[in-house]
Structure formats: structure tokens, C-alpha cells
Amino acid sequence: MVPSVQTSLSAQELFQEAYEHRYTWDREFPGFTAAVTLIQGEQTTKAQAQVTPDLKVVISDSNHGEGEKAIFEQLREVIIHRVRRSFAEVHGKNTFAFGECLSDGTVEIVVDGAATGDRYRVRDRIITMVHRHIHSMVVTIHTLTYKNTPLGYLPEIYESTYSNPSTGETQNEKTVHEDHYIQVDGYYILSDRTQRYAPSDQPYSHLILANVRLIA
């Protein structure tokens, strides 16, 4: 059923509006440096990190090899979501249709074409759910809270699960992520991230960025 409050927008227009409302770094983003601490159980890793202007991650002066790899992977994940790519570039080979409409105004967007089987949920220009096929798995992410900025929104608390695309069987415990950001010379950059398993609510990873500076 087409949502009555959005009769002037097609499914693609509704989804594109939310896609383009995400906060991303512009093409002038100069990169940044930071002192990074990663706490995983009893292991604490300290390192220096640099995100270059071409959005590569460089880790140095690490005191723990496995922790260094985890820092690299987490920062790389942050960058992927801050890269600015046009809607046509990412979704130009897809078509979109309305799915389920929820009582709180959330609208499901069903994807066909190159990404057949993917689904999203949109409410108030926010993508509140992502259900995507990635390689041999399906990842489902629900955004629970977000930070509004003048240049778009940033997810703050969100849940993720991975499942088998054939059986729907969950492959991991639900993970709750909580991200916080600071503004540095006009750019929003991650300041810390806590990851914990639900429903136990036990944290297993805490990433902290300090002395964040843009590259001159």
C-alpha cells in the first residue's frame, strides 16, 4: 500500500531523499589524525591513526598487533559510511517499490534489480533499517537513535545482526553499537564507539579517539 502521507513521492524519491540526507564528508575533506585507544576485555591497545585525504587508514605506534587490526577495521567502517557517493552511482541499477507501512509512519522500501532482495525502512528522511545481502550473508541494521546536524543525520545507537540468506538463521548475537561524534573545524568525526552484545548488554569493545586534528 502506498503511504498516504507520501502520495506525492514515489518509492525511489522517498528513499533517495533519505539517502541524500545522511551526513557525509565533502570532497574537500582533508583527513585527520588522532590518538586511538581500543579496549577489548582485558586488552588495551594504544596507537596513532591517520585518515588521509583520499580516505585511507594508516595505523602506527601500536602496542598490540591484533588490536591494531581491529582499530584499522573499525576506522575503515566509519569511512565507508562517510564517503559521499551519488544516489545514481550506488543505486542506478536498482528499482524501488513500497512495502509494508507501519503505524508510526515508517515505510518499507523493497529493492529490485542489481540488489534484488535488499530492503530498507524510511521515516522522516531517516533510513531506520537496512537489510542488505553482502557476499554470502545478510546484514540487518536497525537505527534506534541518531544525531541531527545541519548537513544530515548520523546514526548514534544501532543494532546489527547477520543471517543466512537461504535459511534466515541468525549467525551471531545481536550487536548494539553506540557512536558519539565531535565537530572539528566544520566536520563531524567519531570520538568514541562502544559495542556490546544484546540482551546481555555486556560491552566487548570500546574505541576512543583523542586529540583529533584535521590534516593541514
Instruction: List helix spans (H) across 29-133.
Output: 65-82, 87-91
Q: Where does the pLDDT of residue 3 fall: very low under 50, low under 70, confident under 90, or very high at 90 and above?
A: low
182 contacts 191 by C-beta, under 8 angstroms: yes
For 172-183, the pLDDT digits (tens) are 778 999 999 999
Q: Does the pLDDT value for residue 201 go beyond 80? A: no
Contacts 24+ apart (CB under 8 A), 51-59: 51/75, 51/79, 52/215, 53/29, 53/215, 55/29, 55/31, 55/79, 55/83
Average pLDDT of the residues in 185-196: 96
Record the pTM. Answer: 0.90
Q: Does the pLDDT value for residue 202 go beyond 90? A: no
For 18-40, the pLDDT digits (tens) are 999 999 999 999 999 999 999 99
pLDDT score recorded for residue 64: 85
Rounded Cα distance, 8 and 90, in Å = 24
- Do you find a cis peptide bond into 53, omega within 30 degrees of 0? no
φ, ψ (nearest 5 deg) of residue 49: -125, 145
